[in-house]
Amino acid sequence: MNTRILRIDPQHPDSTAIAEAAEILRSGGLVAFPTETVYGLGADATSAKAVSSIFEAKQRPLTDPIIVHIADYEALESVAKNIPPIVETLAQQFWPGALTLILERSEHIPPIVSANQPTVAVRMPAHPVAQALIRAANIPIAAPSANAFSRPSATTAAHALQDLDGRIDAVLDGGQTMIGVESTVLELSGKYPRILRPGGVSLEQLQILLPEVTIRTELIEMSAAAEAPGQLIKHYSPRAKVLLFPDEKSLPALIHAAQGRIAKGQRVGIIGLNGEMPAFSGLNIALFPLGVTLEDAARNLFAGLRALDEQQMDVILAHGYSRKGIGAAIWDRLLRAAEGKVQGS
């Protein structure tokens, strides 16, 4: 299959390109499109056949459920049922935006979307291209991140094409995404609301509305994906091995490890904030500066992992930052890229 590349202005999406992409979705095809978090790989969420082709294109196991995207609150009724009152409050505050809610699945959404679970994950993205596409298609859109299974998510159309060129019908190229890490996944069915995946909306932001919200910190092994399918430990992985260190204080240990790897003849890459780059001068390594703030780091994290992979690094070294705010999502993605292993612990 020849994947069509439809370039589009991210702020003022051209209606011809949107109409073309919407028509592909309506006829059961696959379209990658930008959201404010990462690129999604969209299909008609009401069609089991269309959704099954997402799993095929991504080589994603059928046990990993997919988020359904809507463009307005009214559409929620067709996707979920028995919606608890708190959802309207959360939606007023955080939708459109980087928050995904786990609700009871309606009959309009086939079980394959949710890996046969009675629930469904729903999100209303804020990106103008995503909004325009969902409205034009006039159906709920099932969309996981637009990467091959277990690879770093795509924050540009080029990243989506690296993994999916020839496997999907089209990509809407609206440039780099703004947030860079995926949405926060919030479960509401338990005794307390619980974050299953930290993301673009922080724990601290949610605590203002939901003081009792908790965050799931335990990690599920590859073999035990029961409670939150898709929360697999190996995720967001570049081909290179990722060596993750706890925090800023581990910088000397990180540099020592880099020197050791270089001495063994390995190709070493490091990602870090711009201000840290001078600490690595003189080392024979490839550097990918993530920017100045943690928001920059979130935006550029997956691009950094992919860029160092393109340069054929054997290992990529990184350390964690604050675990607060967007820092929680950065740490989670780094930890999964490192297959759950933290150096020196």
Q: What is the rounded CA–CA span in Å between residue 120 and residue 183?
A: 15
Closest contact distance (angstroms) between CB of 190 and ligand TXA is 12
* Least Cβ distance, residue 151 to ligand TXA (angstroms): 11
Q: Which of 119, 150, 162, 176 binds ligand TXA (CB under 6 A)?
A: 119
- Map the footprint of Mg ion across residues 217-236, applying CB under 5 A: none
50 binds ligand TXA (CB under 6 A): no
Which of Mg ion, ligand TXA, none does residue 197 bind (CB under 5 to 8 Å by kind)? ligand TXA
Question: Minimal distance in Å, beta carbon 236 to Mg ion?
Answer: 8
Annotate 292-322 with b (16+ C-beta within 10 A) or e (fewer).
eebbbbbbbbbbbbbbbbeeebebbbbbbbe
> Given candidates 231, 237, 250, 300, which one binds ligand TXA under the rule CB under 6 A?
231
> What span, in angstroms and rounded, lies between the C-alpha atoms of 41 and 78?
21
Closest residue to ligand TXA in the complex (CB): 230
Assign 3-class secondary structure to 93-155.
HHCCCCEEEEEEECCCCCHHHHCCCCEEEEECCCCHHHHHHHHHHCCCEECCECCCCCCCCCC
- Residue 231 interacting entry, from ligand TXA, Mg ion, none, C-beta within 5 to 8 Å by type: ligand TXA
Per CB under 6 A, 229 contacts ligand TXA: yes
- How far apart are the C-alpha atoms of 329 and 38, rounded to whole Å? 13
Q: Does 228 bind ligand TXA (CB under 6 A)?
A: yes
Burial of 200 (0-12, 13-18, 19+ CB in 10 A): buried
Stretch that binds Mg ion, among 145-153, 169-177, 267-275, 286-294 (CB under 5 A): 145-153
Considering only the stretches 143-151, 209-217, 250-258, 291-299, report the one whose residues sit in contact with ligand TXA under the rule CB under 6 A: 143-151
The interface mask with ligand TXA, positions 162-201, x = CB under 6 A, is --------------------xx-x----------xx----
- Give the whole-angstrom CA distance, residue 172 versus residue 163: 15
Whichever of 131 and 231 has its CB closer to Mg ion, that residue is: 231
Minimum gap (Å) between residue 117 Cβ and ligand TXA: 5
> Which CA distances in Å does 190 have to 68, 85, 138, 193, 214?
21, 15, 32, 6, 11
Cβ closer to Mg ion: 147 or 250?
A: 147
Exposure class string for 237-269: b at 16+ Cβ within 10 A, else e? bbebbbbbbeeeebeebbbebbeebeeeeebbb
**What is the binding site for ligand TXA (CB under 6 A)?**
35, 37-38, 40, 64-67, 100, 102, 114, 117, 119-121, 123, 125, 143-145, 182-183, 185, 196-197, 228-231
